[in-house]
Amino acid sequence: MIQQLATDVVARALKLGATEAECTVAEGNEFSASVRLGEVEQLKEAGSRGAGIRVLIGQRTGSATTSDLTKEGVERMVRAAIDNASVTTDDPFAGLPDAAELGSIDVDLETYSEAVEQLEAEWKIAQAKAAEAAALQYDPRITNSEGGSFDTYLSSRAFANSRGFSGLARSSSCSIAAIPVAKEGEKMERDYWFSIARRPDRLEAADLVGRLAAQRAVRRLGARKVSTQKVPIVFEPRIARSLLGNLFEAVSGDSIYRQASFLNGRLGERVASEYITVIDDPTIPGLFGSWPFDDEGVRARRKVVVDRGILKTYLHNTYTAKKLGTSTTGNAARGLAGNAYVDHGNFFLEAGSKTSEQMISGIKSGLYVTELMGQGVNVVNGDYSRGAAGMWIENGELAYPVSEITIAGNLKQMLLDIEEPGADLEFRGSVASPTLKIREMTVSGN
Amino acid sequence: MSFTDSFFPRKFGLSTADLESYLSVALSHGGDYADLYFEYVATSSLGIDEGIVKSASQGVSLGVGVRVLSGEKTGYAYTDDLSPDKIRHACKTAACIANGPSKVEKTGLNEGPQRDLYPVLTAPNDTTLNERVELIKRADRAARAYDSRVFQVRASYADNVREILIATSEGKLSYDRQPMARVNVTVLARQGEGSPQEGYAGGGGRMGLEVFESDKSPERYAREAARQAIMQLDAIDAPAGEMTVVLGPGWPGVLLHEAVGHGLEADFNRKGVSAFSNRIGQKVASELCTVIDDGTMAHRRGSINMDDEGNPTQQNVLIEKGILRGYLQDNLSSRLMGGASTGSGRRESYQHVPMPRMTNTFMLAGDSTPEEIIRSVPKGLYCVNFSGGSVDITSGNFVFSASECYEIENGRLGRPVRGASLIGNGPEAMKYVSMVGNDLKLDEGIGVCGKEGQSVPVGVGIPTVRIDQMTVGGVA
């Protein structure tokens, strides 16, 4: 039904004078259960829908969105988009993808599972309780909890445009989490663990999630500050993901055409150490960055972004590609309407062969990072300075917890200083990384 | 204005009888309390980039959220379809959190007193699109004219008008119209073959377009963004380690938001998971510090006539001369902790459950002049702009990321310094405040606060302050 609506909206826009049009219609159903100290704390259940349109009148763009999908609501939206196009400027690069780029890959991406839809509320609540209970039982120093939770989300997204594309993508997700609080003396520390999957049988078990969360919270107790020094830094996979996120921003066509990236003009050059190969692949089944077509209707494809340290491609939508005289890489994304921006599919750093213990074993003095805080990353010039917490490494072993420190460097140098990655690549969302070790960064403390 | 003349009755024909019947469905399983939150938001946004107006968009979002409380439990449901059967269905869904017979009699809704902190002659969305486009074109021109080293300018304008209606099973009926407008400018500058540098500025508030004709002009924000980008061209590496830090007035108040504000939100304290839990009456800052959260300041971005549970906002003293005085309360936490709401229950939209949040958070002015404060520092860092921050409320550790800093050498300002994160511990860091300026300033109106996935607009403010010891996360 939403696919038909998307097609109808495009037709209506053309009738009202648009030269080109593209429409997204989305619907979603959310359920969330949170428990605290063994009792249900909150249950939430609801569904919502929305539509958005972008029109071109000549080379001028206008957009509108609505959650009112009545006939009148949709008509108002189309007219608003056309009105908005009257105040924009001719942009020679504005346009839709070439027809040859449009289409959907012919693979079941397993992004939707009926099993999520069929989960009973009681079962979901029991899972949340089990995760929290496992955390509370793990150690006597776990004295409190911000709770356990189990959430599900089901959504459908239809997209149509005036070049004949019409597609529908459905997705499901379920997730389980625990946030225990550990206490020793007057000092409290909290941490969390979670698991998220497209289908319930891919989730980590509730008691494992609880135990890992508790282990992490307890491990932080007695954290100290260390003195300011330059040392090797190891990022656990959950945290190393954020570095991949920074790299993505730097290779996004949006940053490149504005010359707002420290990787501008570096195509074909060495930008990272020889150990680094970074892939963007929306065609892997069952993951959170998997899609059959992007948000402009362009067929999904795998790209090697960095090959053994050499920058191979930037990531583009139709607009950023045209600006730079190249082709879209199928990385368009958008909310319901508006101009497309650039997003990644499954964006990951290929695993190496080392265990995290091996990576730590050679370090005399260094930092194992388990938390990063704050913004502090400037993709324009590469400056990097973030709050951190983790474990201090002494003579090749995790010695004691540290917090209230920062780590700083510049992304240009950090990428070149990455040593052989760990073997522990795992997907917990659409960006993934194994354990990463950087030769040296500045730790600031007392 | 009376209820029948307000937005939802006029536009959707809602009557008090309808609201009462929905509330009785919500309490049909025996909840202690229920509320309905109707919301209609009209948004408009425009963007200029490379001198081309590339985007213009409008949006409408509409729905109702139903909440039922039963002891510490919350049931929540919402619908974006305001037909009676859909609303009833949402009420039934939320009702299931409770388990028993209905115990509330007919509600009997009454309107509370009204006030108007943001009278707007012409709402932003009642002006023509051309008037609004002109704002960003002016910003674009002013930024490019500032300096020949400016090579990229992006400016955006966004407004929204939010109509809300809240009805509670305690009989409270309230409604509000909340306008908001904002201009942002981002500038890139470059010198020769050097690395480009970025500058950013913006502002706005709960007002119509007239605000951009006075001190909040697009030209001023454009020049400010360009000035920051140009300044960065000559900046040296930031230092690393503990040192004396002087914060400039205004936006650096984000320190208070992270170091103090979040940790005083009542939900965390009710659960005993905040570094400030059970510390009311204790000293948590130097006696120079008095910190206020005030939702009643006219036209401010963080201000609201009433919170998203229908309670009037107020001026809340969080820290008085260094002593912790109170928490920010919503309905649920105040009921469970004993006490009253402080008008701090806020939510992102009808799809979200309200929780205790800040409004405009600032420190009262002291006696020192800003010059005295800088003169008092033999060696340190002067930070005047920040890009944001975050906090772990349980350990109390917070960071905030400076984007414009200068060296202080022998009581004088020196060279500009590259951006760096500053880190500290909430209940400890404020004890090192040793001088407070007489120049309290509030930010320009750009703050967005995130908590548990919900974003709400906020304000911050601070006078020039000297902090004797803080860890600066540079490389040098």
| For residue B106, pLDDT beyond 70 | no
Q: Are A180 and A142 in contact (CB under 8 A)?
A: yes
Q: From B436, B433, B426, select the one nearest B462 (Cα to Cα).
A: B436
Q: From A389, A368, A39, select the one nearest A190 (Cα to Cα).
A: A389
- Its pTM stands at 0.96
Helix (H) and strand (E) counts in chain B: 10, 23
**Residue B127: DSSP 8-state:** S
Q: Does any CB of chain B come closer than 8 Å to the CB of residue A399? A: no
Q: What is the pLDDT of residue B113?
A: 82
Q: Which residue has the tokens 């400039």?
A: B248
CB contact under 8 A, A46 and B54: no
B9-33 residue pLDDT tens: 999 999 999 999 999 999 999 999 9
A146 pLDDT tier (thresholds 50, 70, 90):
very high
A37 pLDDT tier (thresholds 50, 70, 90):
very high
- Tell me whether strands B240-247 and B379-391 are parallel, antiparallel or unpaired: parallel
Q: What is the pLDDT of residue B104?
A: 66
CB contact under 8 A, A63 and B56: yes
Distance from CA of B350 to the nearest CA of A (A): 11
Q: Are A356 and A236 in contact (CB under 8 A)?
A: yes
- Extract the tokens encoding B190: 């470059």
CATH of A2-219, one of 3.65.10.10, 3.30.2290.10, 3.40.50.800, 2.30.30.100: 3.30.2290.10
- Helix, strand and coil in chain B, % to nearest 5: 25, 40, 35
Q: Are B233 and B197 in contact (CB under 8 A)?
A: yes
Q: What is the pLDDT of residue A115?
A: 97
Q: Does any CB of chain B come closer than 8 Å to the CB of residue A187? A: yes
Q: Which residues pair with B66 in a beta bridge?
A: B36, B77
A405-425 residue pLDDT tens: 999 999 999 999 999 999 999
B330-387 residue pLDDT tens: 999 999 999 899 999 999 999 999 999 999 999 999 999 999 999 999 999 999 999 8
As for the ipTM of the complex, it is 0.94
Looking at chain A, which residue has its C-alpha nearest residue B60? Answer: A66
Distance from CA of B443 to the nearest CA of A (A): 19
- Extract the tokens encoding A162: 């005036």
Q: What percent of chain A has pLDDT over 90?
A: 99
Q: How far apart are CA B459 and CA B221, in angstroms?
A: 17
Q: Does any CB of chain B come closer than 8 Å to the CB of residue A367? A: no
CB contacts < 8 A (A, B): 257
| For residue B103, pLDDT beyond 80 | no
Q: What CATH topology corresponds to B3-232?
A: PmbA/TldD fold (3.30.2290)
Q: Are B163 and B39 in contact (CB under 8 A)?
A: yes
Average of per-residue pLDDT across A239-253: 98
Q: Does any CB of chain B come closer than 8 Å to the CB of residue A47? A: yes
Q: What is the pLDDT of residue A213?
A: 98
| For residue B264, pLDDT beyond 80 | yes
Q: Are A296 and A97 in contact (CB under 8 A)?
A: yes
Looking at chain A, which residue has its C-alpha nearest residue B153? Answer: A258
A256-269 residue pLDDT tens: 999 999 999 999 99
Q: Which residues pair with A168 in a beta bridge?
A: A158
Averaged pLDDT score across all residues of chain B: 95
Where are chain B's structural domains?
3-232, 240-473
CB contact under 8 A, A258 and B97: no
B112 pLDDT tier (thresholds 50, 70, 90):
confident
- Continuous H helices in A179-337: 206-219, 237-251, 253-257, 318-323
Where are chain A's structural domains?
2-219, 224-446
Q: Which residues pair with A373 in a beta bridge?
A: A387
CB contact under 8 A, A387 and B275: no
Average of per-residue pLDDT across A67-84: 97
Distance from CA of B113 to the nearest CA of A (A): 31
Q: How far apart are CA B32 and CA A213, in angstroms?
A: 34
A158-208 residue pLDDT tens: 999 999 999 999 999 999 999 999 999 989 999 999 999 999 999 999 999
| B419 Ramachandran zone, left/alpha/beta (phi>0; psi -120 to 50) | beta
Residues of B in contact with A59 (CB under 8 A): none
